[in-house]
Amino acid sequence: MTKLTVLLVDDEAIERQVIEKMLRKDEIQAQSLTFLQAKNGEEACDLCENTMVDVIFMDISMPVMDGLEATKKIKDNQPSVDIIMLTAHDTFDYAKQAIEYGVKAYVLKPAAEKEVMSTFNKVTKSRELDQAEEKQVKKQTARSAFIEALVSDTPEEFTTNVVVALVGAKTSEEELTANINDDRMIIGPVFGAHIPIAWIDVETTDDALELMKQACLKDSVIRFSMGRVKPASELRESYEEALLSYYDLVDRPDIAYNVYKSGLKTTLKDIDTCQKNLIKAFENTNADELSACYDRYVHTLSQLTHHQLPKMRRYLSILLEQLTHVGIKDSIFPLQQEMDLVTHREALQTLVKDFLLKQCHMLKRKYQNASPVEQAVRYVDEHFKDPGLSLEQLANEVGLSLYHLSKAFKKCTGQSFVDYLRDTRLAYAKTLLREGELPLKAIAYEAGFSDPNYFSRLFKKVTGTPPSKYLSRSNRP
């Protein structure tokens, strides 16, 4: 059972003692509860400045500072706290106002035990659901930050050590989490031929390796490669190491995993560079540059594979899978079937080159009316209310790789995708706040935030003002 800190606020000591006695009757529940008491709103505010509180029973009528004023101050500092208002019949209108300030529920005084317990259980159950949703939001936020760090080299959200591992693109998240449920693991989207996984707050590469083994090698075997543990600022370098190890894994079907070691073949780094340049030329729909990049890629690939046809097929398949997010996914499978039938390496190279040039010309025609980045910006402006909108979804929509879209989006708007989406949602939320027709929770959902508590914290962080105060300020004549 989740441990909770419960604050009882009433100017009458007997009232505080009665509520605590009621909540302690369930012995199992009582073991998870810690009680604090305050005799007025001011004492409650002072307590909440230094102590994280989960649930508050708050009387309205008290000396020094009443419950309404205390509620506003406490909710500004601890938006996640749940407040149950205690009210007499003659202050019922105040209780309704308190609910607008974020109070979760109210109980009429003198409080009946059945009503106290029922209200408390409803509030704590709702709290558990909210926390589960908030955990999911944090997971999505961490995933977005991971993607942003991979594609833009700016890991601003990460402050601890991090290591990146890669698994095959056909691996499902359910497979990865079946044997391990660890909040330090962030599973990214499909990056062409692989899925990147970040492990945060790990001390050593060996620690991360043991975690990956637990996730991938316990029941069935999921082959993986891994970089080395790096400071957050070098996350991209750990990814590059994992990628080189992934290429090395292609030629070693006898091993289950591969961790980066200094001294990997120079040609592995060369093939990675050639592949990136080729993908960039493809996304820019530059056929001449694409042709030149492909020739350099094939030359390097021949050196790496010693002209062995099966190995060349495997590397070319990885290249094609890397291009699945730039609008040619439906065309790759028939090509791969043709590749399996080719018996000469020159014919294989020509087959893939002709395919890429044809697709490049088709992509150029597709972008004649509007560039993919302009389409992306317009898509965000039209779909920002969707709480699930992500950079990977946007990349799929406009047919660009995450890396290329992230770079181009920032060049076009002056902001990263995450910042642009955040500001667009907050701007719309401000409009709704000024209109004053919706409660805060509804405004959060309407603006595209799936967690109202996260919305309140973000709004205050960005604007310096809690949304509740912004609302009242905006409504002044």
DSSP string, 351-370: HHHHHHHHHHHHHHHHTSSS
Q: Where are the extended beta strands (E) located within 307-429?
A: none
Residue pair 328/359 in contact (Cβ under 8 Å)? The answer is yes
Buried b (16+ CB within 10 A) or exposed e, 436-447: eeeebeebbbeb
Whether the pLDDT of residue 46 is over 90: the answer is yes
> How many Å apart are CA 200 and CA 75, to the nearest integer?
31
> C-alpha 42: how far from its chain's center?
38
The residues facing 164 across adjacent strands are 198
Sign of the C-alpha dihedral computed for residues 174, 180, 183 and 184 taken in this order: negative
Report the CATH fold assignment for 158-260. Answer: Alpha-Beta Plaits (3.30.70)
Q: CA 11 to CA 57: how far, in whole Å?
A: 12
- Taking Cα atoms as reference points, which of 158, 149, 155 lies closest to residue 196? 149
What pLDDT score was predicted for residue 191? 74
Over the stretch 304-360, which tens digit does the pLDDT of each residue have? Answer: 888 888 888 888 988 887 776 665 655 788 888 899 899 998 999 999 999 999 988
Fold category of 372-474 in CATH: Arc Repressor Mutant, subunit A (1.10.10)
pLDDT band at residue 461 using 50, 70 and 90 as cut-offs? confident
Question: Which pair of structure tokens corresponds to residue 307?
Answer: 């002209």
Q: What is the pLDDT of residue 477?
A: 42
Higher model confidence: residue 79 or residue 37?
Answer: 37
- Whether residue 226 has pLDDT greater than 90: yes
Tokens describing residue 357:
């040039």
The continuous run of DSSP H or E covering 346 comes out as helix 345-366
Give the pLDDT of residue 232. Answer: 83
pTM for the complete prediction?
0.62
Contact call for residues 207 and 181 (beta carbons, < 8 A)? no
Phi–psi pair at 358, nearest 5 degrees: -65, -45
Q: Which residue has the higher pLDDT, 78 or 4?
A: 4
Question: Mean pLDDT lowest for which of 106-115, 226-235, 466-475?
Answer: 466-475
Across 132-157, average pLDDT:
72
pLDDT, tens digit, 9 for 90 and up, residues 163-191: 999 998 778 878 888 878 788 899 888 77
The pLDDT, as a whole number, for residue 319 is 86
Residue 13 has pLDDT above 90, yes or no: yes
Q: The tokens of 366 are what?
A: 């597709």
pLDDT cut 70: percent of the chain above it? 90
Average pLDDT, the chain: 85
Q: Which residue has the tokens 């409504």?
A: 475
Mean pLDDT along residues 194-222: 89
Type of residue at 4: L
C-alpha neighbours within 13 Å on the C-beta side of residue 124:
21
Average pLDDT over residues 55-73: 91
The pLDDT of residue 94: 67
Confidence check: pLDDT of 396 > 90: no
pLDDT at 476: 44
Strands 162-168 and 194-200: antiparallel
pLDDT (tens digit, 9 = 90+) per residue, 262-311? 766 667 778 888 988 898 888 888 999 999 999 999 998 888 888 888 88
The string of DSSP letters for 434-475 reads HHT-S-HHHHHHHTT-S-HHHHHHHHHHHHSS-HHHHHHHHT
- How far is the CA of 7 from the CAs of 50, 232, 474, in angstroms? 13, 39, 32
Residue 203 has pLDDT above 50, yes or no: yes
Parse the chain into domains and list their residue ranges.
4-132, 158-260, 267-366, 372-474
Rounded CA-CA distance 290/299 in Å is 14
Q: What is the spatial distance between Cα 24 and Cα 454, in angstroms, rounded to a whole number?
A: 32
pLDDT for the residue 225: 94
Query: H-helix or E-strand containing 382?
Result: helix 372-383
Residue type for 248, please? D
Query: Which of residues 325 and 477 earns the better pLDDT score?
Result: 325
* Confidence category of residue 473, pLDDT binned at 50, 70, 90: low
| The predicted structure's pLDDT at residue 91 | 60
Name the CATH superfamily, with its identifier, for domain 4-132: Response regulator (3.40.50.2300)
Residue 227 pLDDT greater than 70, yes or no? yes
**pLDDT for the residue numbered 450:** 84
**pLDDT over 90 at 199, yes or no:** yes
Q: Which two tokens stand for residue 456?
A: 């309140």
Lookup result for tokens 């890397």? 322
The enclosing H or E element of 85 equals: strand 82-87
For the segment 399-417, the average pLDDT, to the nearest whole number, is 83
Residues 6 or more apart whose Cβ sits within 8 Å of residue 390: 140, 143, 144, 147, 189
